[in-house]
Amino acid sequence: MQQGATPFIALMIMGAALLFGGGGFVSYRAYQAHKASAALQLDAQTKQKNEETQRLAFLEAKLSELEDKKEKNKTASTTEIIQALQQEVGALKAQRLVPQKTIGVSLHPAPEVAPAPLSSSPVVSSISSNGPSKADIVGRVKPAVVYLENRWAKGSGFLVDDHFILTNAHVLKDVFAVTVKTSVKQTLTGYVVARNEDDDIALISIEENIGTPLHFGSSNETKLPQGIAVYTFGFPFGLEGDVSFNDGTISRRLKYKEREYLEISNAIHPGNSGGPLINEKGEVVGMNTMIFGSEIDGVILGETIKLAIPGDDVSRVYGELKAKRQTFTEVRKQEIRTYEKFLDDFENVWLSIDKGTALSVEGLNEPSEKQIADGVAMLDEARAESISLTTRYPKDFPFSGTVVLMLKNSSYASKQMEGALPIAHQMVVAGDTQIGYSYYTDLKQRVDNALESATQVREQYKEVLAAAGKYFSQ
């Protein structure tokens, strides 16, 4: 009897061990799964916080700029823009003050939830068990991503060959040389050797070796389906510093103006244009190119739609651009640098003319003696710089005659406002009287003449840009 009981007791002990041991294993697996889920939530919160910090910095800078502008230009539209920005800044700050829910780790598994029905579109998990980690991808891609800056724009680009960088053509509109800055703080001069305005892709040539070029992967829908993970690299809001990395997914494919784009969930902003869209293998599968959203005075507010050019299209256009690219001699490069330096200097002249005439018009309509005085001061700055540039403009270019006319009209715009300040003072003192009206008429004629000269400068500026485009494309 005792001998028979021994095996029975042994079986009971083994059963208990299996039951509780197995339960412990299941609990540990659940714990590990919950811990991994918590880590993903923490990553998402950190990513959101970083995006909010970038957005807040940009909005506060824009708000400060507009408030300065408002002091000089008190218009209803400027006030509305400032109010809209203040609301978004306030909302972002309030959101950052709300304490985030602490992500804890529980030993109890979360209750199971029935899965939601999936659409018919193919969806691939964004978690890859065999590919490189995000840190590996950043380490591989970041050295090949560059910051681009010229007098018109700031953007991003990426190395596709030892001496070639790709970016959006709109980042390089009307320029032939661009400042290139690498992730290791090198500053280089790049030359625009080919561009395709229709596809919005341009090719930059550099002399230095800056890193390992990126390679293209397929952006075909079977290789890059809806829901798959993708990563963006670049310089949001045109802010220098470390290369920004953002993860997201392919949201859908859509057509806009007869061209196909990838809509992505990644956060991209002005300044990301021309940066690479990367797959889980570290390959280029697109070029970040545009965002859609509600825009006020160049500031996009609220939710946006982000689009990238498919990598297959970028690769095709790159091959075409490389085949037809220009080869610049040292003489031509020096000409380009001279031309770009001149236009950089003239840009300050044009801004002074544009703002000076605008302030003069507003001062006339207010009427405001101070605004007219500010306008005259800006026009005087433009005149002084125009006279200085007449000794430094590029004389050997075929469009030099147009440059001379442009500089003369720049100086003439300011000259039209000579003697305007005492007239403005008398106009304000006389007020709404017959004498005040005569001062107003005199001042209006001067302002109209300045505006006419400014219009001629603008048209001649366009002529110079067009002529330079033809000249440097020969």
Q: Map out the domains of the chain as residue ranges.
A: 43-95, 134-324, 330-472
Q: Which residues contact 442 (CB under 8 A, 6 or more apart)?
A: 423
Could you confirm whether domain 134-324 is CATH 2.40.10.120? yes
* Buried-exposed string 140-153: b where 16+ CB fall within 10 A, e elsewhere: bbbbbbbbbbbeeb
3-class DSSP assignment, residue 395: coil
Our measurement of the distance from residue 412's CA atom to the centroid of its chain's CA atoms, rounded to an integer in Å, reads 37
Residues 6+ apart with CB under 8 A from 227: 121, 122, 123, 124, 125, 126, 249, 250
Q: Residues 462, 343: contact at Cβ < 8 Å? A: no
Question: Tens-of-pLDDT digits for all 474 residues of the chain?
Answer: 444 444 444 444 444 443 334 433 333 333 344 444 444 444 555 555 666 666 666 666 666 666 665 554 545 455 666 666 666 666 555 554 433 332 223 222 333 333 333 333 333 333 444 679 999 999 999 999 999 999 989 999 999 999 999 999 999 999 999 999 999 899 999 999 999 999 999 999 999 999 999 999 999 999 999 999 999 999 998 889 899 999 999 999 999 988 999 999 999 988 999 999 999 999 999 999 999 876 666 566 666 899 999 999 999 999 999 999 999 999 999 999 999 999 999 999 999 999 999 999 999 998 899 999 999 999 999 999 999 998 888 788 899 999 999 999 999 999 999 999 999 999 999 998 999 999 999 999 999 999 999 999 999 999 999 999 999 987
Peptide bond into 115 cis (omega under 30): no
Q: Structure pTM?
A: 0.70
319 vs 125: CA distance, rounded Å: 32
CB hemisphere CA count around 40 (13 angstroms): 9
Q: CA separation (Å) from 141 to 144, 159, 216, 288, 441?
A: 6, 10, 12, 15, 63
